[in-house]
Amino acid sequence: MTTNINPVIPGFYPDPSVCRVGEDYYLVNSSFEYFPGVPVFHSRDLVRWEQIGNVLDRPSQFNVGLGRERASAGIYAPTIRHHDGEFWMTTTNREDVMKGHLIVRASDPAGEWSEPVHTTGAIGIDPDLSWDEAGTCYLTWAFPGAISQAVVDPRTGKLLSEPRVIWNGTGMAHPEGPHVFRRGAYWYLLVAEGGTGPGHGICVARSDSPSGPWESNPANPVLSHRSTSHPVQNTGHGDLVELPDGSWAMVHLGVRPGGSFPPAHVNGRETFLTGVDWVDGWPVIVEDRYDVPQAPTAFTDDFEGSDASDAGRLHPRWIAPGTDPRSFAVPVPGEGLRLSAGRAAGARDAERLLAVRARDSSWTATATVPQGDVALVVRIDDAHWAAVQRQGTTVTARAVVGPFDQVLATAEGVPADAPLAVRSVANTERYSFAKGPDDLHLGHLVDGEFRTLGTIDGRYLTTEVAGGFTGRVIGVEALGTDALLIRFTYTPDPDPVPASAMPVSPPADS
């Protein structure tokens, strides 16, 4: 039986890092150009996770900008740790990469995190923090083709030693995502290798010292689904955690590709969970250790029902590319969520898009906006998106793919209070040679029923086509004038039942 097929955190939540404090686990992910940055999750069992906040939730902490050129920039591969009663998070902001990595701290991971300090002189991505018994803090990061390290004062960001390369990996491409930790007599260095694509894997080395020299595990990579038919691919970029009973687990990223060859994934790199056994001083991955059900993803935000206590607050799942969503999405008690004017109706680039991550292979999202012109968008970036737009009582289905900008269909006389709707329908046909991973239906609701205006092959809204490191988000943007969003729904749908067998050719003599 195939195991490790359901993510514990579905949707565009890559590069997981995890730590434990008592019975509680905390996990963070990369967020790239989306603000706020670095989502934080909490769990008591490693299987069920709830988002409790975002680490970088103030513009003073996170410099990010709009536009296609900044897609997949921003936040790369954070690490979360708990040391001496405080939580620490370090990451790289590609917008400020020459400043070094940033480090913030907090007493409560759901609360306010400090202003960042930067590790001037440590240039690269994917930083990690670890402490030895003497309290010395080691900053370890990836520089193209190698893993580097320096001693750091995490409160100031000042490097206390010269950066030096400590390991070149096993010989696979792109050693990155390092995590240094101790178990028993050994220090371990966990890295991702092979590039975050079909060749991805996780490798490990060990040493008597947190700085090496490192002995490579002869069984490397300890996890990879490359060149297999496993439904989860690109597995890599992991982090280990010790449980209260002394057992171990690992979180890692993976994707769920679909469609005809070559397959494509739609929701980005997601967070998965495995068990870990220790054999002869080496970690052995146990992919069937945990029974992971499909995570609950449905939600409804009824902004019309907000009260004064909601003023200025959004659920932490809401994000925006290149800008703080609180700067343009303001709850108005008893009315809804006031969206300040964003892009012009005919423009291509998002300016004020309030978005959430798509999290399932089939889903339906709706937005009810009775005031103002508006678009309901599913996107990878400004050059790869599809939307249903309403101007007055005219509703248009539109798709942008690279240089192409196409109106698919138009409907007149649609009431302003009719919810706009987008639906993803997964392709489960096993023997088709001309199908993307899903079809995206653009339309609106009529008496609660979905009415499709236009459909686009979902492969055009994947990173296999667009490039980059993110996944799909679904968002609402006011077009040229302010708008009032009163209700947003996201519902996972069952995937279509696939055909059971290849069609059989009739006998030659029929």
- Closest to 16 measured CA to CA, from 26, 24, 3, 6: 26
Q: Provide the token pair at 501.
A: 């067998």
**In one letter, which amino acid is 266?**
V
Residues 6+ apart with CB under 8 A from 229: none
10 Å CB burial of residue 159 (0-12, 13-18, 19+) is: middle
CA distance 318 to 315: 6
Q: Residue 189 in contact with residue 174, Cβ under 8 Å?
A: no
CA distance 272 to 13: 10
Q: Residue 461 in contact with residue 386, Cβ under 8 Å?
A: yes
* Catalytic annotation, pick one of 128, 176, 301, 477: 176
CA distance 324 to 58: 8
How many alpha carbons lie under 13 Å from residue 381 in its C-beta half-sphere?
24
Q: Residue 210 in contact with residue 132, Cβ under 8 Å?
A: yes
- Closest to 490 measured CA to CA, from 385, 362, 372, 393: 362
Q: Residue 177 in contact with residue 126, Cβ under 8 Å?
A: yes
Q: For the chain, how big is the Rg over CA atoms in Å?
A: 23
Quick check: helix, strand or coil at residue 69? helix
* Catalytic annotation, pick one of 15, 57, 360, 477: 15
15 carries an active-site annotation: yes
Quick check: helix, strand or coil at residue 177? strand
- Rounded (to 5) percent helix, strand, coil in the chain: 5, 45, 50
**In one letter, which amino acid is 197?**
G
Q: Residue 387 in contact with residue 439, Cβ under 8 Å?
A: no
10 Å CB burial of residue 229 (0-12, 13-18, 19+) is: exposed
- Active site residues per annotation: 15, 176
